[in-house]
Structure 1
């Protein structure tokens, strides 16, 4: 999830663990704990795009990291907060839960989280977009409200727990909505007589009313969307895989790097040649409109074979027309 949401969740978690003893400092250190796992994005400043992408939501989002980092952070904060006289263990417990709830929340998103690192297993429920105001804003309101209440008051605990309960119930609701949407896509495919091997669904940006769907139809992908306000049948756009036309990189390292990209996309990818340059599209994150008649895939990588290896560079996203994008999103949410 986005940084603000993780800060809010971490603050609420810190309040549960130590709020009665240290007040708003528990929220502060909880918020810090909720931020730490996403510092793995700094890896991109020191390595190539493929390696940085593989590292994201890896070690720093694992149970192993939570167990190892919590005591160290607890010891450090205990040195800083000597006046609290708590010892390192309560602080370590706060950091453990602040660190652990971060990847638990990320599991509900699309990217994939290696909670059980070093095992190569990425969990992704694909039920919530990385920024969802319906999850974050009520939760944030509860946390801010609790900040201004007496640390020992029952009302403070109730308000903080209200935010946690709301956010947890909303996450469960997204799973229910996803199940309903999956059934809608299955029915649409059955009605049209399409043969397929797999369906992947996820909510569109900022909401859980409009959903995107990718269908693996063996030699092609069928891509569509569905809003709970739709009145017309689901229609699919066909994208041929054209696997036989993909570039055949001769150096072994170049082949390895292409396979790494494919693994990152979990097999949901397309490749396209524009002039003399190949582009790799990760289909899991849907598309954004760039004009009334054209949409681009959100995650695209430009491929460049240099010497013996293959270099992937993530293409810049054009958000200059953000008003247009939001307008199109709102129109589609309202139904077809």
Structure 2
């Protein structure tokens, strides 16, 4: 999640746990503590792909953060100014403010390496967008009230309860979308294909559904208010060039571990560009990397990875996204872009 949301979560937890003893300081300390895991954003891991895939690893590990909570607790037991708070309370304060950060991140699409250093794929439950005002605002308003009043009172507890309830709703909403999508996939003979369901920007009412069918990428938008059996897909080509380089190079292997099968590789401006299809929308993806170049004989060779500038989303489509909640024809995946990759069997927005 974004830094403001993480700070609000930590601040609300701090006020709920230590507000009676520390007052405003508990909120400020909790907010700062909750943002510490994202300090890895300032670490240079040596390449664009390394920076991308090592983010949310060691500093987001429940093992590392639990150890850090123990260290912070031990320090508090040694300082005269903090001894008035029982050791147990200090531990729960540090542990919850730290560990809830990666747990919240795991609800997003990017994924979080919760069990680092165990080499398991990143955990990504994909139930909430990285920025969602309906999750953040209850905690933010509660913190403002608590800071003005000088004590946490009930405000932060209510704010936490409302945000947590909304997060729970996102899980239920995703299950509702899956229940609607599954029969359509069975009908199309796609029930054994990789499927990704995630919320569209800033809401949990309209969801993006992505299906990988070998060299095809099927995309649909589903609203919780859609009538049954109305699912339509836009179908895109999914190029996968230079398979050997993807398999043999470190960057290709790393991106495959991180994003496959929701990725594609294509030649762009003489370089091999690998795009993560999970974040963004067709044509406006958030992350792509050049990892290879052709040699004098036209063969692909590994090259130092670098980020690719991607088209920015058209903010004018936000109004169409809002309308899509109740009107299926208001917005289709191909409206975001990638129409040059659109296939003839597209359903939602047929290619002209």
TM-score scaled by structure 2?
0.81
Give the 3-state SS of the residue equivalent to 2:210 in structure 1.
Answer: strand
The answer (yes or no) to whether the contact 2:285–2:310 under 8 Å persists in 1 is: no
Q: How does 1:1-336 map to 2 (within 5 A)?
A: 1-43=1-43, 45=44, 47-74=46-73, 82-86=80-84, 89=87, 90-121=89-120, 122-151=122-151, 156-194=152-190, 196-230=192-226, 233-243=230-240, 245-249=241-245, 255-287=249-281, 295-305=283-293, 309-319=302-312, 323-336=315-328
| Structure-2 separation of matches of 1:333 and 1:276 | 41
Farther off after superposition, 213-222 or 164-173: 213-222
Give the 3-state SS of the residue equivalent to 1:302 in structure 2.
Answer: strand
Give the 3-state SS of the residue equivalent to 1:207 in structure 2.
Answer: coil
How far the C-alpha of 1:275 sits from its partner, in A, is 4.5
| Structure-2 separation of matches of 1:188 and 1:73 | 52
Farther off after superposition, 183-192 or 94-103: 183-192
| Structure-2 separation of matches of 1:301 and 1:88 | 49
| CA 150–87 in structure 1, closer or farther in 2 if over 3 Å, else same | closer
| CA 328–274 in structure 1, closer or farther in 2 if over 3 Å, else same | farther
How far the C-alpha of 1:9 sits from its partner, in A, is 0.4
Give the 3-state SS of the residue equivalent to 1:264 in structure 2.
Answer: helix
How far the C-alpha of 1:318 sits from its partner, in A, is 4.3
Alignment deviations for residues 231-261 of structure 1 (CA, whole Å, 9 cap, x no partner)? 5822212234454x435339x9x62221111
Farther off after superposition, 111-120 or 30-39: 111-120
Aligned residues: 320
The answer (yes or no) to whether the contact 2:291–2:302 under 8 Å persists in 1 is: no
Structure 2 segments unaligned to the other structure (5+ residues): 296-300, 329-352
The answer (yes or no) to whether the contact 2:272–2:293 under 8 Å persists in 1 is: no
| CA 306–85 in structure 1, closer or farther in 2 if over 3 Å, else same | farther
Match of 1:291 in 2: none
| Structure-1 separation of matches of 2:145 and 2:191 | 52
The answer (yes or no) to whether the contact 1:277–1:303 under 8 Å persists in 2 is: yes
| Structure-1 separation of matches of 2:249 and 2:211 | 26
How far the C-alpha of 1:133 sits from its partner, in A, is 0.6
| Structure-2 separation of matches of 1:36 and 1:228 | 36
Give the 3-state SS of the residue equivalent to 1:157 in structure 2.
Answer: coil
| Structure-2 separation of matches of 1:88 and 1:306 | 63
Give the 3-state SS of the residue equivalent to 2:218 in structure 1.
Answer: strand
The answer (yes or no) to whether the contact 1:209–1:333 under 8 Å persists in 2 is: yes
How far the C-alpha of 1:86 sits from its partner, in A, is 3.0
| Structure-1 separation of matches of 2:39 and 2:193 | 37
Structure 1 segments unaligned to the other structure (5+ residues): 289-294
| CA 115–194 in structure 1, closer or farther in 2 if over 3 Å, else same | closer
How far the C-alpha of 1:193 sits from its partner, in A, is 4.6
Give the 3-state SS of the residue equivalent to 1:20 in structure 2.
Answer: helix
Aligned-residue RMSD, C-alpha: 2.8
The answer (yes or no) to whether the contact 2:24–2:150 under 8 Å persists in 1 is: no
| Structure-1 separation of matches of 2:250 and 2:46 | 17
The answer (yes or no) to whether the contact 2:9–2:34 under 8 Å persists in 1 is: yes
Match of 2:338 in 1: none
| CA 246–234 in structure 1, closer or farther in 2 if over 3 Å, else same | farther
